Structure 1
Amino acid sequence: MVEKVDLLIKNGYVVTMDKEGRLFKNGAVAVSGNRIVAVDKTSSIEQKYSAERVIDATGKIVMPGIVVSHCHTHGQASMGMPAEVEMENFYDELAKWWWPFLEDQLKKEDVYALAKYAITEIAKNGVTTVDDVMEAPKDLPGVLDAEGKAFLEVGMRGILAFEATERISKENGKLGIQENVNFIKKWNDKPDALLRGVMCVHTVFSCSPEMLKEVKELADKYNAWINLHVEESMYEVEYSKKHFGKLPFEHLRDIGFLGPNVLAAQCVNTSDKEIKILKEYDVKVSHNIQTNMVIGVGLAPVPKMIDEGITVSLGNDGFYLDMFETIRTVYITHKGVLKDQSVLPPKKVLEMATIDGARAVGLENDIGSLEVGKKADIIVVDLNEPVPLNNSNIYGNIVSFGMGKNVKYTIIDGKIVVENQKVLTVDEEKVRKEAYDATVRIWTRNGFL
């Protein structure tokens, strides 16, 4: 007897990204509600399932949606910002530009508009999950609720974090912590919700050891993940050595902060002995290669981390909205720097963007691969190449030639959010206009307009 399902994607090259690395050259995926119920050859699936909505993926790739493990959606308002400041180091970039001209200017209406624009664009580019780190310290509380509203309207899966910091005051740091606790209480007990909260702090140079310990205790209490930045620049390394007599990850280890629920973004200047610490405590890493290079802080030792068995995922820092571009940059850059083309094989880089991304945000049992029982976060990609695809070249071609504009369908939680590069859930022109207006407001507050 044929079982009725909600969605059937057939005749595609199914790249599952599961443990076995299964590939189905003429494959299909059946979806019921928000879950995958079957992954197999099209001929087998059609014997068992039928659906009112059928996507014919002939000549296209069917794969898990991309996971962005570190993002700042509000960063879109900083693009081309005409702030003329002299910056000698990374701390100057934060203290003289990023904090005063962007994050300290954000209001909830800006957070909503900028987040909605960023996730609308990346949904078109094949992203189905975003771990977003927001800081709008002068408009607390309720910032994450405003951002969450944008995620729900678009239909994007979101792990939302408020970047708590004591850079303004200890009292403001407390407000940031409470913002995360409130969001965790609101969403984390709802297993099928699109949203999830995490605890989040900025860095060891903007958060006291006492604050970090408090955040760790709360994360353990609420069984929540922790996000933070570590060693994006040498400034943090030198600060930690000066104030604590040890390297940042040594400091975090010694105050009891590290664990398998910690996602550390950047890790550009992480030493070999600290990589051993990451492995020992099963700390996850988010690699944000493009911004790291743009601001000249270096290149994270990702191949060493992966060789050590550390989970490394991919982020975009909120700036580069085509994650296929990020995937390709990671794939080629480390090869060039190390002068070794065997570094980071294409399958591994694609894992970083999918199943390892899911593992980095604690959702590997729900997303990141196409498997029965997992949530239906699926993309259909048309590489549109004059090259026959096979099991030996499929990963390399996706990594080398994939582009956001190649994404034909983005399916999140079983719902079609993007079809033929059109977002079905929102008015794209209105979203873009609201984001533009938010940027104008921010620039006006700074006296740039």
Structure 2
Amino acid sequence: MLSNLVCCWLWCPICLFIFVWVLWKGNACGTREPVNHRNGEQLTMAKTSDWIITDTSVISLEDSDVVLEDAAIAVEQGIISEIGPSDQVEARFPNLEKIDGRGKAVLPGFINSHTHTVLLVLRGTVEDMSGDAIFGYMTPISFAMTDNERRALARLGCLEAIRSGSTTLVEPFRFIPGYADGMIDSGLRLYFGENAADALTLKIRDGIYEFDKGFGQEFLDRTVEMINRFHDTNDGRVQCQISAHAPDVCSPWMLAELNDLAKKHGLTRTVHLSQSPKELEQVKEAHGMTSAEYLDANGWLGDDVVAAHWTFCTPNDVQLLASRGVHMAHCPANSSRRGPHKALARDIIDAGVNIALGTDNMTEDMFEAMRIGSIVHRGAGGGGVDPAPLHALHAATINGAKALKRSHHLGTLAPGKLADITVLDMTSPSLTPVINPIANIVHYGHPGIVSAVAVEGRFLMKDGKVLCMNEADVIGEAQEATHAAWRRLGEISPDIKLPASMQI
């Protein structure tokens, strides 16, 4: 009897430890079902990752602009098993869940190579305001928001991204550890970066560039926390990057600290580059260089770097960046809100730079990015028809995978690759008649044509219905958070002009 009691006394803590470990492991590996954050309702994201889409059009992007008609794509355990004639593939996989693909096109999920989901809080405001939007509004409101408000806006961004056909988001922003979980629950593939700076960014709107290591250390601490908590979690669906905000707000000390973290953890890097005249003026005054030259002098250029914008890069900058193998995260729609994007598009293309598309802020619509990108690049080329629609689609898919060093897993559809896919309804009035599917998608596509989205074979959206979150709740919570954030910004910074509807 005594021996039994001793055994129970010894084993109970061990059993409790195992039970807690299993629960934690399940959450960390993404087996937890998404929860409706408003009322705790369990959502019904499709668990299956084994299926076959039949009788469809497959735009694999593996073989130039070839579109496979009357084709099927079979997926097992989240991996593409086979693509080929529908009757043959069906015969080889008779036990998979069958999905009717008639009238649909299956293509790689879009990779949004640069976005700030939280800045949806500014939608419909700064687009029509003059002055410095970055330090006049974007930076102040991001500091004024609470973690819950950032989470609410980030979840709205994920919802819009799914409805826009994206499967991967690259999210460099500040305070990532406080809201990342809300994005992870969406089921999207995610790359997080804590947008580090050691300039006191809230002073910049007053024309003051003051650097403070204590302020910068807070970003470094959050970067380490982000890596420890989120990097390579959820079965590899969630990754982290090292992010420097921009050359004007990062001292050589900060850039060196970030480089050390990148090397220690084996992470890729990202940065905003030449995005404003103010940035160029500050870097020139402080260091006597262009932004690209300053980054190069501090070891911040390489083929592991994705630099966003390049708006005011010189021809020499473009050649330098190309020679270092830097990837461009091109956000043409956002950068053209006050007129056509000023980046030297023709020079960048001719230099052989890998151009990946992003949406930047206030939108997650990759169709708009493809369309505006095509227009901007054609305009830079003198009004011709280059680049072709296929090149725009590459920039939204495989080029993003290359920038992330994931082209062996993502960006095209082929056996052995992850089943990150988007299904489009090609019978939509805006896409018919169909003569060249790729041209129709790039020139006339919009989020309303997205029928289904899957990440590693798991459907986040199917038959036009989002499965991974309650849309009404996400939209409602984001609206509430937006009002609260703007009103708090007005209280903290009364010198900042608020939209009329947000006046205190």
Tell me if TM exceeds 0.5.
yes
SS of residue in 2 equivalent to 1:365: coil
CA distance in 2, matches of 1:96, 1:402: 33
- Give the aligned residue type for 2:107: M
**1:122 CA drift (Å):** 1.4
| Alignment of 1:440 onto 2:483 | yes
1:8-407 aligned at under 5 Å gives the runs: 8-18=52-62, 22-81=66-125, 87=131, 92-100=132-140, 102-135=141-174, 143-168=175-200, 169-190=212-233, 192-295=235-338, 298-384=341-427, 385-389=431-435, 393-407=436-450
- Give the aligned residue type for 2:50: D
In structure 2, the CA distance between the partners of 1:436 and 1:30, relative to structure 1 (3 Å rule), is same
CA distances 1:116-175 after superposition (whole Å, capped 9, x unpaired): 01111110110100001222xxxxxxx423432122221111101111111323222222
Contact 1:6 1:51 survives alignment (8 Å): no
CA distance in 2, matches of 1:112, 1:241: 37
CA distance in 2, matches of 1:61, 1:86: 41
Q: How many residues align?
A: 431
CA distances 1:315-374 after superposition (whole Å, capped 9, x unpaired): 111222221122111112322343232321111110000000111222222211101111
CA distance in 2, matches of 1:203, 1:5: 40
CA distance in 2, matches of 1:106, 1:120: 20
**1:52 CA drift (Å):** 4.3
SS of residue in 1 equivalent to 2:418: coil
Q: 2:462 aligns with which of 410, 419, 425?
A: 419
SS of residue in 1 equivalent to 2:294: helix
CA distances 1:10-46 after superposition (whole Å, capped 9, x unpaired): 1111011126555311211111112111122212211
Contact 1:327 1:350 survives alignment (8 Å): yes
CA distances 1:366-425 after superposition (whole Å, capped 9, x unpaired): 211101111111011013243244xxx232122112111101111112111112332111
Contact 1:14 1:27 survives alignment (8 Å): yes
CA distance in 1, matches of 2:128, 2:470: 35
Which of structures 1 and 2 has the bigger CA Rg? 2
Name 2:208's counterpart in structure 1. none
% identical aligned pairs: 27
Please list every run of 5 or more consecutive structure 2 residues that lacks an aligned counterpart in the other structure: 1-47, 201-211, 491-502
In structure 2, the CA distance between the partners of 1:95 and 1:121, relative to structure 1 (3 Å rule), is closer
CA distance in 1, matches of 2:128, 2:317: 37
**1:295 CA drift (Å):** 4.2
Contact 2:177 2:225 survives alignment (8 Å): no
CA distance in 2, matches of 1:123, 1:179: 27
In structure 2, the CA distance between the partners of 1:298 and 1:400, relative to structure 1 (3 Å rule), is closer
CA distance in 1, matches of 2:56, 2:110: 18
Contact 1:303 1:343 survives alignment (8 Å): no
**1:437 CA drift (Å):** 1.2
CA distance in 1, matches of 2:440, 2:270: 32
CA distance in 1, matches of 2:111, 2:374: 16
CA distance in 2, matches of 1:381, 1:84: 32
**1:294 CA drift (Å):** 1.5
CA distances 1:80-112 after superposition (whole Å, capped 9, x unpaired): 45999873xxxx433332222x11112111121
* Aligned-pair Cα RMSD in Å: 2.2
CA distance in 2, matches of 1:422, 1:396: 26
Contact 1:381 1:409 survives alignment (8 Å): yes
Contact 2:109 2:397 survives alignment (8 Å): yes
- Give the aligned residue type for 1:23: V
Contact 1:269 1:298 survives alignment (8 Å): no
Instruction: Please report the TM-score for the alignment, with normalisation by the length of structure 1.
Output: 0.90
CA distances 1:39-87 after superposition (whole Å, capped 9, x unpaired): 2221221121134422211121110000100001111111245999873
CA distance in 2, matches of 1:436, 1:64: 31
- Give the aligned residue type for 1:99: T
Q: Greater shift after overlay, 336-345 or 224-233?
A: 336-345
CA distance in 1, matches of 2:49, 2:338: 49
SS of residue in 2 equivalent to 1:154: coil
Contact 1:232 1:297 survives alignment (8 Å): no
CA distance in 2, matches of 1:21, 1:216: 39
- Give the aligned residue type for 1:118: G
